[in-house]
Amino acid sequence: MRFLVVLTDLKGWKSITNNSLKDADATVNDLVGFMGSCESGLYISIRRYINKLDIPVISQAKTMVQTDDKFLITTTAVTLALRPFHATNFQLTGLDLLDMHSAAGQYCLFLLTIPMLTQRLPAVLVSALKHKSILSPCLQTLLILRDNILKEISQIDHLKIEQHSSKVIPAVGWALSNIICLFTGSENDFLDPGGLNQSLDYAFYVHVVIILAESLLSWLDNSGWPEKENQFPQVNAETSAEPVGKVSYENETIRTLKMSYVDLLSPVCQQWHLSKLLSISKTAAYVHTDDAQNPKYLRKLELLDIAYFYSYILRIFSILNPTHGPLPVLNMLSFTPGYLVTLWEALESLLFPRKGDICADHDFSTSKILGNKKVRGDKKQKQLNKGGGNKWTNILHKISGKSRAGVDYTDSVDGQPTSQVDEDLQDVWAVEPLTCGPQKISKDISCLLHLFCASYSHLLLVLDDIEFYEKQVPFMLEQQRRIASALNNLVYNGLAHSTVQQNKPLMDSAIRCLHLMYERDCRHQFCPPVLWLSPARKSRPPIAVAARTHEIVLSNTKLDDALTVPSVGSVITITPHVYPFEERVQMFREFINMDKVSRKMAGEVTGPGSRAVEIVIRRGHIVEDGFRQLNTLGSRLKSSIHVSFVSECGVPEAGLDYGGLSKEFLTDISKAAFSPEYGLFSQTLTSDRFLIPNPTARYLENGIQMIEFLGRVVGKALYEGILLDYSFSHVFVQKLLGRYSFLDELSTLDPELYRNLMYVKHYDGDIKDLSLDFTLTEESFGKHYVIELKPGGKNVCVTNENKMQYVHAMADYKLNRQILPYSNAFYRGLTDLISPSWLKLFNASEFNQLLSGGDFDIDVDDLRNNTRYTGGYSEGNRTIKLFWEVIKGFEPKERCMLVKFVTSCSRAPLLGFKHLQPSFTIHKVACDASLLATIGGQDVERLPSASTCYNTLKLPTYKRASTLRAKLLYAISSNTGFELS
């Protein structure tokens, strides 16, 4: 080998004379040309040698002895490999580049595909491989002969020269990693540490990486990796409330090899890498190849090329990174200043050609969306919002490139989406290019959308409401609405046309981003309701058809997949918000009716013997008796319950249960068990006082089991359409719906803690001054417990560098970890009767409405049209006429009190009183005044009473409206029922 090195260098030919120089030069060129051809077998031999070299660890690489025999042999082999590129008068022409058998072709095929090439060689030799005279011809060859070279590279994996690594990473994957390592600096590269190779053409580099990455992904798809390997469990809106993740015990050698491979790609995860490519893409210079006859290779580095580059890299990390998945890439993409804004501007021009029409023409301004009330935080928070000069905020300001200081942060508008929407407005939010989902959009738009959705959904995880609504970074609210509209149309139409699997990476990232934006809108509205309804206005199927289709999809899909994989499921599962809320309630009832029919067909409802559950309940021990007799039934609780009550005196109460007593039992047991005094549930610190599991419940006897039982009680009430006058915390319901809760939702649970964390997040000074560590203290029954937010948290001080970790760790504990055992228990009980897929129809506030009814004034006409009269009353009776006149004159609060007095729930049924079971009834109580009282002008003295188990108002025959009003108000204000008469 040493002789061949000397032989191919004219300087080593001591016997050359001036007369023989020309012949010698031609001889050397012929020899070098032969060495570079496939006939010589040079490159395949060098490949075998280098492939057997050890891969030193990083600590050894810097101190590796450079004078031993192995080093000399390796240097000689590399010199021979590079000789065809450096020989005297030897230059690659355009014709040579088109020859697969040229040195550049052989070099690409056999050397650039060596696993961990740059790690096997000494650093000084790697620097030689990086030289422009070597890499440029190789990149050009890969571009021009891409099909031929990729075909040849794919065959290397089947040759005997390859080791076991090809079973995990194919040769094209190693070519990709080697080119990235050669084009970028590393910490071991003493010539060019940590930067792009300044002497090379960046466009060549980007285009070659795109070609190789696309080929690698194709190989991974064909080998079934995305299906075989567990996907990286990102924290997102679709994280299951019930931990059902599968554990993959893959071979440790394979796992180590995958980790080593993604480490080679780490330079592209650095912000300087993306920033450099973006700055180059803004120049007008074109890149010229040696093939002047092919103008298609005169390429400029453009934003779209960079998008393809990172879209593919993102997918590769998602599949091959066993520890953190795509997180390294997402962190860099999400926080590189200006990149997300640039991506959206490119998409906006393609998807919304008439920019600004939506918001300007239809006057959905910030103040109109969020109302006129301004948030009244504490004084420090206001000063904090005005300042906004901390490092985190500065980064977000750079992302947007603008200042948002003049926008008011305001509360969301009260009110619910309605099915009566303006069709013209809906047409505005129907994005024409996305009407067929991902099927009909171009590959370029698909790439831009995939990268944008993946990056923005990652940013949304840490973007708090102050930044989103007040500072409006990285996007103004008008842009946020267009983003939401585009994602809504893309996802719905993709599901409607069954094209999800055709572009799964795009659809998965779009679904994740859409859910995050919808959840934020549910908490603080920034989109008009018609936006979410728009894509399904003309195409959504009837409710019954949609419900049955949904059940068929679930029956053909594994339940775990349908609940945890975003793109598995139906329109109803993934985008239920495209149906008006009232229609989703009808779907929910349709699901229950279908379940009842299937149970009846299976003989669970009717058949030999009684299927009803007989229970005896003591009035003073309703929770304990209900738990003892019903907790073990599981899904059998769907059957009828026949209740016999025993009074507090120990005497059985008379009467048979025709459905009314079971309703009374459910309302009474929930009233007792959900009371904060009972200890299982407490109330949030906000003004609405929503219910949330009490952290001390685990110390109570059967505390967790009792919460699971209450889940079944709530499930039974939902299954039977019985309203309960209770509402749960948004955070708790999020868990029941299988969704993760993020930082800003803490404001609905503990406003003071939320303000404190926002103060820490936006603190401008040295956070060490606050003397915080990664712990919190809980008090239970007079004892204090220190909880570590991370392993060894009591020894980790909060600094400016890790304060974001502290803020989110604290929020995660309060919102997710602390509540998880209780929410899991409640979820188990609830889903014994209500399918998880049915629950996914609703967001948190809608779930509360489903449980406790509408949140508005009582519709008197609707109530009147669906009221039944007994005992001698009729609609034409004088007392009944007076009754409805009085009710119309009530205040809204008084009407709600009346409904609660009669039905035990202060809200109307969601779909109107025709769905109230049993029907609202007014029963005549015969108690006419005496003759003397009548002559004296006196009216009936008896008070109205109610039978809540039968939704019956027992109304005496009053003759005057004033008396009826006074007596009725007194009765409903006394908060009593049976005994008041």
Give the model's pLDDT for residue 686.
85
pLDDT band at 7 (very low <50, low <70, confident <90, very high): low
Contacts of 861 (CB under 8 A, 6+ apart): none
Give the model's pLDDT for residue 423.
53
Higher pLDDT, 21 or 810: 810
pLDDT at 130 over 50: yes
H helices of 876-920, in order, are: 878-889, 892-903
Please tell me whether residue 577 adopts helix, strand or coil conformation.
Answer: helix
Higher pLDDT, 482 or 916: 482
Contacts of 435 (CB under 8 A, 6+ apart): 489, 493, 535
Give the model's pLDDT for residue 975.
58
The listed range with the strongest mean pLDDT (30-34, 162-166, 323-327) is 323-327
Structure tokens at 294: 């092919």
In percent, the amount of the chain with pLDDT more than 90 equals 46
Give the model's pLDDT for residue 609.
41
Query: Which pTM value belongs to this model?
Result: 0.81
Give the model's pLDDT for residue 41.
87
pLDDT digits (tens, 9 = 90+) for 903-932: 888 888 888 898 888 899 999 987 755 555
Give the model's pLDDT for residue 185.
66
Higher pLDDT, 169 or 235: 169
Q: How far apart are CA 765 and CA 784, in angstroms?
A: 31
Higher pLDDT, 836 or 199: 836
The pLDDT of 44-63, averaged and rounded, is 74
DSSP string, 567-623: TSS-HHHH-GGGS-HHHHHHHHHHHHHHHHHHHHHTTSSSSSS--PEEEEEEGGGHH
Give the model's pLDDT for residue 199.
64
Catalytic residues: 949
**Per-chain mean pLDDT for the chain:** 80
Q: Tell me the pairing of strands 945-947 and 867-870.
A: unpaired
Higher pLDDT, 655 or 583: 583
pLDDT at 736 over 60: yes
pLDDT digits (tens, 9 = 90+) for 60-82: 444 444 557 888 899 889 988 88
pLDDT band at 165 (very low <50, low <70, confident <90, very high): low
Q: Tell me the pairing of strands 920-925 and 952-956.
A: parallel
pLDDT band at 558 (very low <50, low <70, confident <90, very high): low
pLDDT digits (tens, 9 = 90+) for 393-441: 444 444 434 433 333 433 333 344 433 445 556 678 889 999 988 988 9
pLDDT at 248 over 70: no
pLDDT at 491 over 80: yes
The upper half-sphere exposure of residue 821, i.e. CA atoms within 13 Å in the direction of its Cβ, equals 12
Give the model's pLDDT for residue 819.
93
pLDDT digits (tens, 9 = 90+) for 449-473: 999 999 999 999 888 888 999 999 9
pLDDT at 331 over 90: yes
Please tell me whether residue 505 adopts helix, strand or coil conformation.
Answer: helix
Structure tokens at 390: 């901390």
pLDDT at 137 over 90: no
pLDDT digits (tens, 9 = 90+) for 862-897: 999 999 999 999 999 999 999 999 999 999 999 999
pLDDT digits (tens, 9 = 90+) for 190-224: 444 456 766 678 899 999 999 999 999 999 988 87
Please, are residues 324 and 304 in contact by the beta-carbon 8 Å criterion?
no
